[in-house]
A and B are shown apart, each in its own frame.
Chain A
Amino acid sequence: MAPTIAPVPKDLKKRFQTPRQEMPAQDPIARGKNFQEVTLGLEAEAAKLEAYRCIYCKEPECVQGCPVGIDIPGFLHEVEKGNFAEALGILKSTNLLPAICGRVCPQEEQCESLCKTGKSKGNRPVAIGRVERFLADWERAGGIAKPVEVAPPTGKKVAVVGSGPAGLACAADLAKLGHKVIVFEAFHKPGGVLVYGIPEFRLPKAIVAKEIANLEKMGVDIVCDFAVGLTATIEDLQKAFDAIFVATGAGLPYFMDLPGENLGGIYSANEYLTRVNLMGAFDPEHNDTPVVRGKNVVVVGGGNVAMDAARTALRLGAEKVRLVYRRSHDEMPAREEEIEHAEEEGIDFTLLTTPVRYLGDDKGRVVAVECRKMELGEPGPDGRRKPVEVAGSEHQFPADVVVVSIGNGPNPLVPRTTPGLETKKGKIVARDGSGRTSMKGVFAGGDIVLGAATVILAMGAGRQAAASIHEYLQTGTW
C-alpha cells in the first residue's frame, strides 16, 4: 500500500522535543518470579504523544524498513488525532497480527532503524512497535471489532500445513477470499512458535488464542494432531485439495556435538521451552509434564531463543542463570529490548566464551560446563568478526541445567516424505514473491523457506502465498 502523505507539520521542533514514551514494565525483581507479561503497554495518551513524534516524512524510510511495508505515517497520523479505529484499519490492511508483531518484531533493526526522528540529533526513533501494540490491545479491550468480511464461497479447497504465523496469515487471507481452508497442525494446539516457543511473559497466549478464534469464525477449520508426511502425505492431500501451502517452520534443533551433550539436564531450547510453555511445566499443580528446575542454569547462545530460555529458567527458580555466547555484546542477534530485560532481571552475560564439553555425575546428570574463551578475529563473509578459541583458556562453571539455544534448521518432515519437492540445504525452494515450489499447486513460506527468521517475515510470506494461491485457483496457470 502506498504510504499516506500527511501534511508536513509546522511544529517540527516541538515534535522533536517530545521524549520517546517509555514502555511501562513490571518491576525486574518481581517479574523474575512470575510468568505474566513483562511490558504493560502504552496508555492512550502516551500512544498519542508517541505518534506525535512522527514528522510525516515525504519519503518515509520507516516503511522501507518494515518487511511488509506497513503505511506507518498513515496510521501514526490517525493515532495522533485519536482516531484509533481508523488507525487500526490502516494497520490491519497490511499486518494481520499487530498484537503479536508489535510485541516481538525486532523494530530496532527494521522500521525504527530508519526513522527520521531517530536520526535527528540526540533523538530516538518513533516507537512504532509500541504504538502498533497499543492499537491491537485497544481493539482487544473492546475498542471496536470491525467484523471481517468474507467473500461468498468459491468452492475451492486449500490445505495449510503448519499453524505458525505464516500458516495463520495465509489461512486468513484465503478465507476472506471465499476459499475453504483447512489448517493441519502436528501439535495438539495451533500457533507454532507463538505458542510453544515464545514465552507467556513476552507474548501472552490469550492473544494468540484470540487470533485463532477469529480465524475459526471466518470458517477456517483447524485440524490438530495431524503430521503431514506421516498421518497423510502431501501427495494424499493433493487428491483432496486444490492447492497446498506448506508452512512447517524451522523446528529442527541444532546441537554442538560436544562430549557429554546427552547428559540429563541438557536440553535444546525447543524442548525446554515446549515443556514449559506448551506443556505447562511452570505450573506443576495442573500439568504433569516435568522439567528439570536447575539452581545453576547455563544457556548457550545469544539470540531471542537464548534470551527466552534464560529468562524462563530464572522464572522457574534458578539461583544463577548464565548466558554463554561466543561473540561480544554487539553481535548478539536478539532483540535489544530482550537483552535489556534479561540484563535487568540479573541474567549473567558471559561473552566471548564457548562450551567445549559437559561433565556429569554418576547418575548421568550434568554438573558442570567446561568453556573456552574466544577472541574476535577477522571479519567473515557475513561481515561479522569471526570468533576464534583461545588455546589454554579452559574454565568450568557449575550447571545442573543447560539449554542449547544455538539455532534451528528447517523442519525435515515434509521434505523427507515428499520426493517431488525441491529443497536446498533442507529448506523448501519457493519462488520469490509467489511461494510456488517445484510441485504444481504446492506453495511454501515462512521459516521452512527462509530458515529461522522472524514472525513478520513469516506472516508476510503467508500473505504473499495467499495472493498467488488465489491467482492460481482462478487461472490455473503455474
Chain B
Amino acid sequence: MANFKVVGKPIRRFDALSKAVGATVFADDFKMPGMLHGKVLRSPYPSARIVRIDPSRARALPGVVCVLTAADIGYAKMVADIPGQTGQRERRGSETPVLAWDRVRYKGEAVALVAAETEEIAERALDLIDVEYEPLPGVFDPLEAMKPGAPVVFEPDNIVARWRIRKGDIEAGFAAADLIIENTYRVPFVEHAYMEPESGVAWVDERGVINIRVSTQVMEHFRTVARTIGVPQNRVRIQGAFAGGGFGGKEDITVEVFLALLALHTRRPVRLAYTREESILAHSKRHPYIMRYRTGVKRNGRITALQAELIADSGAYPYLSPYVSLYSTVMATGPYRIDNVWVDTVAVATNNPFTSAFRGFGGPQPCFAYERQMDEIARALGLDPLEVRRINYLRTGDTTATGQVVHSAVLLEESARRALEALGERTPDRGPIRVGRGFASYFQSYGRLMWLHDTSQAWVGLELDGTVVIRCGAPDPGGGQLSSLCQIASEVLGVPLENVVAYTPDTALTPLAGTTTATRQLYMSGNAVLQAATAIRKTLLERASRYFEEDPDDLDLADGRVFVKNDPDRSMPLADLVRICAAEGLPLSHLAMFKAPFRDPIDPETGQGDVFPDFTFGTFAVEVAVDTETGQVEVLKSVACHDVGRAINPAAVIGQIQGGSHQGLGYALMENLIVENGEIKTPSLSEYLIPTSVDYPTTQVILLESGTGVGPFGAKGIGEPALTPVAPAVANAVVDAIGVPINELPITPERVLRALR
C-alpha cells in the first residue's frame, strides 16, 4: 500500500455540497405526523430547596398533553458516567436526577417537562407549573467549596475526583535545581457554541421501540436512556443525523431522556429543540482551572522537577469531571522529559453550571500553564524559549509522567522550528503598538483511556455492481469522519470514491462504533473499516488469483478493476469478479471489530501506568500586535504545525486545524462565560462572543506526516489537538510584546492594561 490512490488526496467530502446549499437534514429538520412539542422547566435558582411542585394548572391548559415532574417518572436518576463502553467500571456518585424534586443545585437544572400540541402552548404551560423554592446558600468557588463548613453540593465534601502523580524524588529534583519558577494560572468557563443547539424527535414505533432521532456525539446513549427510564436496552433506538458541531458538548446526554419520557408517556411523536439561550443554560461548559506550577530548572534550562496543583470547578454535578481532570493530570507536565514529578488534581463541586467534555478534554488548560511556564523559565534564565524546550522535549522511547513509553514519532522540535520559520519576517512596532511573538508545543492523547477497553465496529459490503456500502455507527459532527471512512474503503477495495456510500449512524442499522469523542473516530473506526475492507479484498484477490492463475500478491485493485500488477492489461471489472464470488457463495461483506489496547487503570497513589494508545505532538506559533494604550490584541499571523501521522484527507485535516486554531484564538483572547453567584451573565451570543470570520487571519497549516500513528495508514488524531497549544502561544506572544506576564485567560484589553500598570 505504499502508493496511495485515494488516501492522502484532498478530496471534496461527500457531505460538503449538501451542507453548503442547506440540503442536509439535521435533527431539528425532522417532522413526524401528529408531532407534539416539548419544553423543559428550569430552576431560576442556583441553590434551593424545592418545597412544592404543582403542575395542575399547566395540565388543565387546553392543548397540553403531558406534564411530567420527578414524581411522575419514579424520581429517576441518570448515570452520567463515561458512555458507550463495555469494559468500564462505574463510578460511584455519578448519577444525576433527570428532574429535580427536593433540591436544585444549579441555575437551569430541569424541574419539569411539558408536551403540548404547539410550541406556544408548551411555553405557556411552563409558566403555569407552580414551583415553590426556598433559596439555600450556595458555593460558587472551588476554593471555597473545599473549606470545612461550605455548603455541600456533592456528598460528603464536594470532592468529585482526586488524581495524583508521584514520579521520582520531588525533593531531590528541587534540590538539584539552580532556579525555581512558581506561578499560578487561571482559565475561565467556556461555552461550546456549536452552530446547532440540542434538538431531536422521539416516537414509539409499532414494535414498542422508542426511536430517538437526535444530534449527538454518542449513539451508545441508548443504553443510558433505557436504564434511566426502565426499559430493556433493545427497546431504545437512536438515529443519528449529521450534527451541527459538538466539540464535546454533545458527549453527555442532552435531550434524549426527556424525549424518550415524553414519547413514552404521550405515545405520540415529540420534538424538543433548545433555543440558543436554553442551550447555553442547559449543557456543560469547559472547566475553569486554577493551576499552581512550580518548576525546578538548571541554568541551561533543563527541568529537574515539576510540581503542579490543579483545581477544576466541576459545577453542580460530576458528569465527566473525573475523567477531564484525569486527562489534565496525565498531561500536566507537557511533552517534556521530567524525572521528578508531583501532581495533585482535584475536581470540586459548586453551584455553578456543570462542566464536562470540551475539545481537548482537560488538555488545553494545563497546556496554558506548562507552556506559559516554559516561557517564564526562558525569561528568567535569559535563554531562547525554543532552546529551553528543545533540551526538555520528549523523544521516542522516553516515558511520560505516568511512566508510559512513547512509541510513535515525536516531531516536536521540527514542528516548532517549522512553525516559527513560517512566521516569516517580524512586523515592526509602531508607536504604542508593540509586536510580539510566541509559540507553544503540546502533547495530546488520541483514543480513549485504555482501561475503558474501547472498541469500534464497522461493516463493509460490496454490492453486485461493484459499489460499496459502509455501515458504521460513527457520529459525524462536522469533522468529515464518514467521508474519511469512505476514502479508506475506496483505497483498499480499488473502488472509485463516488461508488462508496456511508450511512449516518443508527443503532438499528449500523454496528456500534463508539463515541465521536477523544479524537478517536478516525483511529478506531478508521481501523475497523480498514480491517473489514482488507478482509473483503483478501476474498476478492484469492478468487481472482485462480482466474488469472497468478499469486494474490501479484494482483491489485484500482479504479473499479482487478488486474495483474506487472501486466495491467490482464484485468477484469470488479463488478464481474463480485458476481463470480456471489455466485460461488463467497462472502462479500465483513463486520470487523477494532480493539484499542486494553490496560488496567493506573495506580491511584502514584498515577503510574499506561493511559492512552498514543499521543499527537505539534506546535502553534503566532505574531500579535498589542495596543499598549487600549490593551487590544490583534493577531497578525499564525502557523499551526502538527504531526498528523497520515493525512487521510489533507483538505479535511487542514480544515480541522484551522477551525481548532480559531477556536483556540477565541479561548485565548475573547471567549469568557462570566458566571457570578451561579448565574451566567453572558446568556446569549450577544454577550458571549466567539470569533467571527474577520477577527483573525487564516492560520497557515503545516502538516507533518511521520506515518507512525496507531490509526489507519499510520494516522494520528488531530480533532482535539488542533486547539490545545493555541492559547498559551498567544499569551506568550503578548508577554513578548509587553514584557510582563499574563497568566489568566482570556487576554482581554482590560487584562492587558492591568498587566501593564
Do A and B share a complex?
no
Residues of A within 8 A of B (CB): none
